[in-house]
Structure 1
Amino acid sequence: MAIKTKALLVLLVATCMQYFANGEQQVPCFFIFGDSLSDNGNNNNLQTQAKSNYNPYGIDFPNGPTGRFSNGRVTVDFLAELLGFKEPVPPYANTSGSDILKGVNYASGAAGILLESGKRLGDNIHLEKQLRNHRVIYSRIVRKLGGSRKAKEYLNKCLYYVNIGSNDYINNFFLPDLYTSSRIFTLEQYTNRLIRRLSENIKELHESGARKVVLVGLGALGCIPRFTSRNGSCVDEFNEAAFLFSNKLNSEVNTLNNKFTDSSFIFINSSSALDLEKFGFTVADTPCCRTREDGQCVRNETPCPNRNEYVFYDEFHITEAVHRLIAIGSYDQIKPLVQHSTNPPLQ
């Protein structure tokens, strides 16, 4: 078993090395909207349980804990590297100076498309507020570049990445004791509501210059350890919700492409097609760290040593190794979107 695991780890490293090579920056800036799968520090100073700026989060990150809900880097960090960025895209909470010309990460742990999603854990920056934060950054870019026309010309070449929606189910719809959503709407009605709201937000991004937009579907929500630990099986109704959301989002992407012919919208759902066993992931139903009642890692506990074999770091969030593979799968689909955006970034 040890020999087989070592061979699979070599395969994983070899697969990654062919992608992660130094190259020119393919887009001038990269803007990120989402939840804890993308958050890299925006929740650190919020009054919320949904924060991860403590050990053992970040145990494999060069700077230690940063607010990433993983043992190391997350998908958008790897995507930034694949796109030629020398540094990770900074969180909105820490942006300053000319950093904004390279992009901003607005993602927030526990955030949803709807304002109320995830609020049981405390404060978060829901998608509409992330858009408000982007309007602040847009205004600063307009001032820096000398007008809205120049700003939009610059932003037209940038990449926008939106990965959000899971908390609208696991921290809203499927908590009937805390939220009324499932008593007011059927699953399909609720999902339609989410897609409509998300589409409105994307149209606002278009108005401020977004022309290259990636929209990410949901993975198998019912197969995360928080839920499989109950009886060892995936929860079908959670997976059905994720599948429904992803299908409707895919259709909405087609609608957006037909409506905004000056833009390109891409739907991706790389996590749903990963052959994790091929790369040596042997533990898919147990977290790598010891978890507290809310499913996050217990502070300062020592996590599992064989983290490259685990799919999940805590009861909700995947390990750095899985994030890396998702980034590679995503980048393969994003390449057509960015291949013509080779103009060098402004200094």
Structure 2
Amino acid sequence: MFIVSFCFPFHYQLSFWGSRSGQDIQEGVNYASAAAGIRDETGQQLGVRISFTTQVNNYKNTISRIVNIPGDEDSATDYLSKSIYSVGVGSNDYLNNYFMPLHYSSSRQFTPEQYAQTYAFGARKLALIGVGQIGFRPNALAQNSPNGKTCVRRINSANQIFNNKVKGLVNEFNNYYSDAKFIYIDAYGIFWDLINNPSLLVLGWQMLGDVVLEETMDK
């Protein structure tokens, strides 16, 4: 998932990159593609998808278009610095790559630690989303669970290695880029909280509904 909101208030439904034209891109763009991952080959067994590398290149193309709207690079840079970037990657690289040895060789080439080892133009506010507990996902259960119901702990253990490295990167980025703000969203922990306390999900939707209602009334 790679989403950019270029304006405020945040738009809850952002159009796909290919459908944006002219000044519409100022409302924000969704570059995400189902099944895609950090690695270019990830998800290829499912068919056509837009790799993360291509998503970043699409973002670069958007930047060149944004520069033309205000007419100069300084104004465009200031505009981009106020935007919010949401990047969530990694889960497909495990479910649709590393843990599919019949389709990919990555699990034979790398240990989970090595695999977890395995970018920004104008971005100043970025939310990096960790990988959730994908050992509970239906395709993980179908392919790796002995009874189709039990959580696949080795998958969760592997993506926790990835999450810990992302956390470390967030800290490094915040220390290195003093004019930017990076935050880590603990999708793994959020999912665990919901399993143990489902009422949190209801509360979350209620809070989201209140925000949407408030914005609607303000317009």
Question: TM-score, length-normalised on structure 1?
Answer: 0.53
Q: Are the aligned partners of 2:11 and 2:27 in contact in 1 as well (CA < 8 Å)? A: no
Indicate the SS of the match to 2:179: coil
1:269 is matched with 186
2:217 is matched with none
Distance in 1, matches of 2:31 and 2:188, equals: 21
1:254 is matched with 171
Q: Report which of the two has the higher share of helix.
A: 2
1:239 to 143, 148, 156: 156
Q: Are the aligned partners of 1:90 and 1:99 in contact in 2 as well (CA < 8 Å)? A: no
Offset at residue 280 of structure 1 (A): 5.4
1:141 corresponds to 2:84:
no
> How big is each residue's C-alpha offset from its partner over 1:52-75, in whole Å with a ceiling of 9 and x where there is no partner?
xxxxxxxxxxxxxxxxxxxxxxxx
Offset at residue 277 of structure 1 (A): 5.7
1:227 to 116, 140, 162: 140
Q: Are the aligned partners of 1:90 and 1:103 in contact in 2 as well (CA < 8 Å)? A: yes
CA RMSD of aligned residues (A): 2.5
Equivalent residues in 2 for 1:1-347, closer than 5 Å:
33=2, 84-85=9-10, 88-193=13-118, 201=119, 205=120, 208-228=121-141, 230=145, 231=147, 232-273=149-190, 274-276=193-195, 278-279=197-198
Distance in 1, matches of 2:86 and 2:173, equals: 15
Distance in 2, matches of 1:192 and 1:181, equals: 13
Unaligned stretches of 5+ in structure 2? 212-219
Offset at residue 86 of structure 1 (A): 5.2
> How big is each residue's C-alpha offset from its partner over 1:278-317, in whole Å with a ceiling of 9 and x where there is no partner?
4459xxxxxxxxxxxxxxxxxxxxxxxxxxxxxxxxxxxx
Indicate the SS of the match to 1:131: helix
**Alpha carbons of structure 1 residues 86 and 156: separation in structure 2 relative to 1, 3 Å:** closer
**Alpha carbons of structure 1 residues 120 and 105: separation in structure 2 relative to 1, 3 Å:** same
> How big is each residue's C-alpha offset from its partner over 1:246-273, in whole Å with a ceiling of 9 and x where there is no partner?
1110011111111111111101114523
Indicate the SS of the match to 1:213: strand
Moved over 4 A (4+): none
Letter in 2 for 1:150: S
Offset at residue 242 of structure 1 (A): 1.5
Question: TM-score, length-normalised on structure 2?
Answer: 0.82
Letter in 1 for 2:59: H
Q: Which moved more, 1:90-99 or 1:246-255?
A: 90-99
Indicate the SS of the match to 1:215: strand
Offset at residue 101 of structure 1 (A): 0.9
Indicate the SS of the match to 1:192: coil
Offset at residue 276 of structure 1 (A): 4.4
Unaligned stretches of 5+ in structure 1? 1-31, 35-75, 194-200, 282-320, 332-347
Offset at residue 87 of structure 1 (A): 5.5
Distance in 1, matches of 2:19 and 2:171, equals: 35
Distance in 2, matches of 1:271 and 1:84, equals: 28
**Alpha carbons of structure 1 residues 275 and 133: separation in structure 2 relative to 1, 3 Å:** same
**Alpha carbons of structure 1 residues 163 and 98: separation in structure 2 relative to 1, 3 Å:** same
Indicate the SS of the match to 1:275: helix
Q: Are the aligned partners of 2:131 and 2:187 in contact in 1 as well (CA < 8 Å)? A: no
Distance in 2, matches of 1:88 and 1:140, equals: 21
> How big is each residue's C-alpha offset from its partner over 1:222-256, in whole Å with a ceiling of 9 and x where there is no partner?
11123335412100110001111111100111111
Letter in 2 for 1:140: R
Distance in 1, matches of 2:72 and 2:168, equals: 35
Indicate the SS of the match to 1:90: coil
Q: Percent identity?
A: 40
Letter in 2 for 1:151: A
Higher RCO by CA contacts (8 Å cutoff, separation 6 or greater) = 1
